[in-house]
Structure 1
Amino acid sequence: MNDSIKRQRLDTFMILIVVLLVIISCITLFSLQNTLPAAIRGRPFYIYQGVWFIAGVIAVGAIMLVDFDQYRRFAMPLYWIGVLSLVGLFFLPWAVRLNGALSWYQIPIVNTTVQPAEFMKLFLILALAHVIASHNEKWEGDKNLKYDFILLGKMFALTLPPFYLILIQPDTGIAVVILFIVGFMALISGLRWRFIFSLVGITFLITALATIIYLTFPDEVSAMFADTEFEHALERIQAWQDPTQYQDGSAAQAIRSALAVGSGQLFGKGIMGTEVYVYERHTDMIFSAIAEQFGFIGSSIVIVLFFLLIYRIIQIALECRDPFGTYLSIGIVGMLTYQIFQNIGMSIQLIPLTGLPLPFISYGGTSLIVYLAAIGFILNIHSRQKSFMFETENR
């Protein structure tokens, strides 16, 4: 290993946070096992989650064995593997449609499913970090409008294939996560702030115009998206706008989730104190179970743990001695931040429902392994450092 690389101990603070989140996950899943739908009632999802956690820890160990600098060599091959796995969903016989989305592969040997879009998020972060770092090395000290457009074009070209392939599954939740990943990475990519503000302004105007059109012509917009992949997403937005009108349909899950959160009050009802039935409670809606059983205090502890985790990753990103590591870290921050906000927000009817799990807590093997792998990259970055991109020279 290069002598300029400074080896450090593992970040025990971050490891402790992640372990606590997984413990909370297993406790919550244990308490829910007899309240789930009849088809899956009694299944030991907390044990399954523990097994997936062990698999994720093995993945972290494998990631830690390699200098994170070397992942630049594998970034683009992994990206294309991810894209091909998304394309395969529309052709391969192992692809299965669950909850209306063609997003999974069925693995018959172990009788489980794998969601390639989850891996694609991490592969895209690696590819974007590599492309941004390479671009800035080439254009060092020569930033102008041409620089901005070329870098933005490269980022757009990388983002469009996975974004489109995920959107048409349809999985609007992960598609939006990808946009937030790109947005976070664009902020620290080297694009000039004038250019970024212009992009934000254009995005805001387009969003405002689309909102005005939707609010002015709701029936016409609904008819436009009827019988398309996006009809379900539009129904969720409508249910969020007027939950009473859709209380027996699209809004039922959100209403029940909010009732469960409120019923927990300050200290909650205790383990196995679940009384309000919420569909998908062991996966996407698990925060409502935490709030009901452990109350405001318990759910606040979870939020604080997430805040500390994000804060620590940002610290490591700023301390990183290699631009590639910084870009990679901020991409992971974007992925985690949006998913945490989205999942908790939809559980309290702050924003419309999407099928996004709560990182490290919702049951799901693919998602847990991906989040742990992301933490593995952060731990790797922390333990191997080169020149700091924001550091002033020691005098």
Structure 2
Amino acid sequence: VVTKHNGDYPTHYPKADFLLLGKIILTSIPPLVLVMLQNDLGSTLVFIAIIIGLVLISGVSWKIILPLFTGVAALGGTLLILVVYNRDFLLRLGFKPYQFSRIDSWLNPYGDSGDTSYQLIQSIKAIGSGKMFGKGFGTSEVYVPVRESDMIFSTIGENFGFLGSCILIFIYFLLIYQMIRICFDTKNEFYAYIATGVIMMILFHVFENIGMSIGLLPLTGIPLPFISQGGTALLGNMMGVGLIMSMRYHYRSYMFSEEDEDFK
């Protein structure tokens, strides 16, 4: 973002901010549209989370970001209200009935015995049955559909209980915290954009997967990073973490070379 200095405080050019926003949005549209055409709501939300992270770190003025995010939140709230009170209008816009069923199971999981509600109910039962310390590794007595991938957190909650689930969440917190530190330590704008995309990808996967397993968020096809079954997701997450580790390595190499030059 192009800035000019007025005393001690930099002043943003609004035109440059809008230009940067336009570049981020334009480069994000092609992959976002391709994923939406596959009716993959989960991956679409991941792309949106990455875009939000890039906008937040881009340095765009809050006078632009705040109204933009407020409008997006208002749009989401309006769609949720229409799902509850006026679904015919959304059907004419191209929404699918299965998307409504996910919202129904989220708002009232015990009000319907359909497939989506059944999966959520069983997940809540499995997590609750684990109690504080769990039933032990490999002891899964409550049947949960797709427990090996999307609903893997229900297995963790049942096997290792509340304590084991908290330890897992703490490990994710440490991972994301270390990646954020690398993002700030490198002091490189290009590296910061890449690291932010990887951080938002992993953060949203963790938040959405655990949230939908306990009924906090609607069900979507989102795996839990490094744990859910699926080689492609594991490979993608490992590549992302590897990129950030490479940034840290190159930054340290650069700092050591600078120190050597100063010593000479």
TM-score (norm 1): 0.60
Give 1:222 deviation, angstroms: 6.3
| Counterpart check, 1:186 vs 2:55 | yes
Q: Is the 8 A contact 1:339 1:359 kept in 2?
A: yes
| Counterpart check, 1:330 vs 2:199 | no
Please give the alpha-carbon distance, in whole angstroms, between the structure 2 residues aligned to 1:286 and 1:212: 31
| Aligned pair partner of 2:116 in 250, 253, 259 | 250
| Aligned pair partner of 2:46 in 166, 177, 181 | 177
| Counterpart check, 1:233 vs 2:102 | no
Please give the alpha-carbon distance, in whole angstroms, between the structure 2 residues aligned to 1:166 and 1:231: 19
**Which residue number corresponds to residue 153 of structure 1?**
22
CA offset digits 1:371-391 (Å, max 9, x no partner): 00001011001111269xxxx
The runs of 5 or more residues in structure 1 that have no matched partner are: 1-135, 388-395
**Which residue number corresponds to residue 139 of structure 2?**
273
Give 1:190 deviation, angstroms: 1.7
Q: Which amino acid counterpart does residue 382 of structure 1 have in structure 2?
A: R
Give 1:233 deviation, angstroms: 2.2
Give 1:140 deviation, angstroms: 5.7
What is the DSSP-based 3-state SS (H/G/I as helix, E as strand, rest coil) of the residue aligned with 2:115? coil
**Which residue number corresponds to residue 383 of structure 1?**
249
Please give the alpha-carbon distance, in whole angstroms, between the structure 2 residues aligned to 1:230 and 1:216: 16
Aligned Cα root-mean-square deviation (Å): 1.8
| Counterpart check, 1:321 vs 2:190 | no
Please give the alpha-carbon distance, in whole angstroms, between the structure 2 residues aligned to 1:364 and 1:256: 22
**Which residue number corresponds to residue 213 of structure 1?**
82
**Which residue number corresponds to residue 354 of structure 1?**
220
Give 1:308 deviation, angstroms: 0.6
Give 1:221 deviation, angstroms: 4.4
Aligned length: 247
| Counterpart check, 1:291 vs 2:152 | no
Please give the alpha-carbon distance, in whole angstroms, between the structure 2 residues aligned to 1:345 and 1:339: 10
CA offset digits 1:86-137 (Å, max 9, x no partner): xxxxxxxxxxxxxxxxxxxxxxxxxxxxxxxxxxxxxxxxxxxxxxxxxx4x
What is the DSSP-based 3-state SS (H/G/I as helix, E as strand, rest coil) of the residue aligned with 1:359? coil
Give 1:297 deviation, angstroms: 1.2
What is the DSSP-based 3-state SS (H/G/I as helix, E as strand, rest coil) of the residue aligned with 1:351? coil
Q: Is the 8 A contact 2:83 2:100 kept in 1?
A: no
What is the DSSP-based 3-state SS (H/G/I as helix, E as strand, rest coil) of the residue aligned with 1:244? helix
Please give the alpha-carbon distance, in whole angstroms, between the structure 2 residues aligned to 1:249 and 1:322: 48
Alignment of 1:9-24 (within 5 A): none
| Counterpart check, 1:372 vs 2:246 | no
Q: Is the 8 A contact 1:222 1:234 kept in 2?
A: no
Please give the alpha-carbon distance, in whole angstroms, between the structure 2 residues aligned to 1:200 and 1:229: 23
**Which residue number corresponds to residue 87 of structure 1?**
none
Q: Is the 8 A contact 1:320 1:382 kept in 2?
A: yes
Q: Which amino acid counterpart does residue 168 of structure 2 have in structure 1?
A: V
**Which residue number corresponds to residue 21 of structure 1?**
none
**Which residue number corresponds to residue 204 of structure 1?**
73
Alignment of 1:68-87 (within 5 A): none
Give 1:246 deviation, angstroms: 2.1
The runs of 5 or more residues in structure 2 that have no matched partner are: 5-10, 256-264
Q: Which amino acid counterpart does residue 224 of structure 1 have in structure 2?
A: R
Segments ≥4 residues shifted beyond 4 Å: none
Q: 1:160/1:230 Cα in 2 relative to 1: closer, same or farther (>3 Å)?
A: farther
Give 1:364 deviation, angstroms: 0.6
Q: 1:150/1:222 Cα in 2 relative to 1: closer, same or farther (>3 Å)?
A: closer
Question: Quick one: percent identity of the two aligned structures?
Answer: 37
Of Structure 1 and Structure 2, the greater helix share is in 2
Please give the alpha-carbon distance, in whole angstroms, between the structure 2 residues aligned to 1:259 and 1:164: 37
Please give the alpha-carbon distance, in whole angstroms, between the structure 2 residues aligned to 1:276 and 1:319: 45
**Which residue number corresponds to residue 175 of structure 2?**
309
TM-score (norm 2): 0.88
